Amino acid sequence: MSVFSQKICLKNRIDVAKFASNVITDQLSVDENSVLGLATGSTPEQTYRELVKKHISGQNSWSQVRTVNLDEYYGLDRNNPQSYHHYMHVHLFNHVDIPECNTLIPDGTTSDPVAEARDYEQKIVALGGIDLWLIGIGSNGHIAFNEPGSSRDSRTRLVRLSNKTISDNSRLFEKKADVPTQALTAGIATILEAKKILLIATGKNKSAAINAALNNPIGPDCPASFLRLHPNCMFVVDEAAARGCRNNFR
């Protein structure tokens, strides 16, 4: 097992964010041209805050970094406040020295999602692949928007969101009916091709998914379980998310 492939439980979400921001900052100091995979959602918000603090104090530079996001809601314009384009600018891109042209997020307004998905995969290959992908986990075990049922070989594509994900994410919308029902997402195979993966999870609503990811049979019932096939995947969770599988963590 590589040193990177550890399972780490920390006290709370702040400690998880500080740890994750250190891992990412280390990656940027080893290679300022890194290709970073990024996630959205509530979990990484604090990690982005920590990364911005480090940037302001001169500990990381993003001028040469290229970023690739996991996913985007289908049907949302990049200026829509609920879009992941908007999220990334608000939480990270507007506060660090990354050139806009070095960032990649699926186009949720494309009229040709099949072509968009194919181009996305080709763009990742053209970048030389992802060095480190920061990812979260859904309460149903999804990674990116690979919902239960997604296969190991899945690639970037248009998917239908599960009812569970729609109701989980409705907290961020005015009403449930406003949550998009589809998304463009990197596939499981796309994610597993990253050189390193850093999964972060906080809060008790993630504990069942973390337990399933680490202890259930590897398979589509819990898409995050496929991460166990990766030789350099680190799970960093807080105590609440580790509840029920404390033995898996040091």
Reduce the DSSP state of residue 40 to 3 states and report it. coil
Mark whether 147 is an active-site residue: yes
> How many whole angstroms separate alpha carbon 238 and alpha carbon 62?
28
Contact 224, 213 (CB under 8 A): yes
3-class SS of residue 64: coil
Specify whether the CB–CB gap between 2 and 231 falls below 8 A.
yes
Which of 16, 24, 51, 144: binder of ligand F6R (CB under 6 A)? 144
Which residue among 71, 107, 147, 238 contacts ligand F6R (CB under 6 A)? 71
Q: Which is nearer to ligand F6R, 43 or 207 (CB)?
A: 43
Determine which residue in the list 10, 17, 20, 39 makes contact with ligand F6R, applying CB under 6 A.
Answer: 39
Q: Which of 69, 142, 230, 238 is catalytic?
A: 142
Closer Cβ to ligand F6R, 203 or 244, answer by number? 203
C-beta of residue 169 within 8 angstroms of C-beta of residue 179: yes
Is 37 a binder of ligand F6R (CB under 6 A)?
no
Q: How far is the CB of 42 from ligand F6R (least distance, A)?
A: 4
Task: Note if 116 is an active site residue.
Answer: no
Stretch that binds ligand F6R, among 59-67, 101-109, 137-145, 223-231 (CB under 6 A): 137-145
Q: Are 70 and 186 in contact (CB under 8 A)?
A: yes
Determine the size of the site formed for ligand F6R (CB under 6 A).
Answer: 14
50 among known catalytic residues: no
51 forms part of the interface with ligand F6R (CB under 6 A): no
Tokens of 198: 């850093």
The answer to the question of residue 193 lying near ligand F6R (CB under 6 A) is no
Query: Residue 125: helix, strand or coil by DSSP?
Result: helix
Coarse DSSP helix, strand, coil percentages of the chain, rounded to the nearest 5 percent:
40, 20, 40
Q: How many CB atoms lie within 10 A of CB 198?
A: 23
Identify which of 112, 211, 159, 84 has the alpha carbon closest to the alpha carbon of residue 150.
159
Q: Which is nearer to ligand F6R, 131 or 147 (by Cβ)?
A: 147
Indicate the residue whose CB is closest to ligand F6R.
136
Decide: is 47 part of the binding site for ligand F6R (CB under 6 A): no
Query: Which among 50, 71, 131, 238 is annotated as catalytic?
Result: 71
Q: For this structure, is 174 an active site residue?
A: no
Q: Using an 8 Å Cβ cutoff, are 104 and 212 in contact? A: no
Binding span for ligand F6R by CB under 6 A among 55-63, 98-106, 121-129, 142-150 = 142-150
Q: How far apart are CA 102 and CA 63, in angstroms?
A: 9
- Say whether residue 143 binds ligand F6R (CB under 6 A): yes
Residues that bind ligand F6R (CB under 6 A): 39-43, 70-71, 136-138, 142-145
